[in-house]
Amino acid sequence: MPDAIFEDPRLALLYDTFEGERDDLPLYLDIADETGAVQVLDVGCGTGELAVALAERGRDVVGVDPAEASLNIARGKSTDVTWLGGDAAAAASQLPCFRADLAVMTGNVAQVFLTDDDWQATLSAIHAALRPGGHLVFETRRPDARAWQRWAQAPAVTRDVPGIGTVTGQLTLTDVDLPLVSFRHTYRFPDGSTLASDSTLRFRDPDGIAANLHSAGFDVTDVRDAPDRPGMEYVFVARADAAATVDTAART
């Protein structure tokens, strides 16, 4: 079940305004150029900012997300992207002929999978949606950077949301039980009403992530720093191993 901030129609309308300029996305556009990707799968595409930007650069893009309210906003931005509701397995099941050169998970997407089983299943589903030799790229927050300490001190933020008016949002840290960190977004609307959304992220160590990727049939080719958040995140670049694809097919 997606968090309310993505699934509730009233909250989904706030997302782009409160996120502001997406300084994290140029990295993915550059890697798409670097890898020569033609077909791209955006897992957890949300309101579609990256998927639309990739499509505008002439790529064949599939955006998949389980939050229908966010996906409806994305659909209104572009008809050049194939938008799918569901998890990472949706691309392989709904578009059996589609094999991506590049799959991406931006923002906090890679950290919303709280159990080992869900995380491993997601990586395996992405592997199945990639061509042999295709790449997976995602970012994840460094546990030692302790981002939650800054969240605990976050001030309220007020934004003018098109079509809605002045909305005030507040981020509140609700629990730290590593590797899980929970927080709440609360928004006050112009009519005085409030809506809240609770979220939990899992902070994984890089060695564990590398082992997870290997188990799903990936070779880690690079671990980079995130240009928009230096020292705060790991950016994993992994390649789908062709032999693992054959082995997976043999077991099905």
Give the pLDDT score at 251. 31
Residues of the chain with pLDDT under 50: 245-252
d(CA 160, CA 1): 29
Final residue belonging to a domain, choices 201, 222, 237: 201
Task: Let me know whether 175 and 50 are in one domain.
Answer: no
> How many domains are there within the chain?
2
Task: Let me know whether 77 and 65 are in one domain.
Answer: yes
Give the pLDDT score at 30. 97
pTM confidence score: 0.93
Give the pLDDT score at 252. 31
Give the pLDDT score at 250. 32
Q: Token pair of 72, please?
A: 């409806």
Domain containing 185: what range? 145-201
Give the pLDDT score at 247. 38
Task: Let me know whether 224 and 187 are in one domain.
Answer: no
Final residue belonging to a domain, choices 164, 183, 201: 201
Task: Let me know whether 25 and 125 are in one domain.
Answer: yes
Phi/psi at 24 (nearest 5 deg)? -80, -15
Give the pLDDT score at 243. 59
CATH code of the domain in which 118 resides: 3.40.50.150
91, 82 in Cβ contact below 8 A? no
Task: Let me know whether 224 and 162 are in one domain.
Answer: no
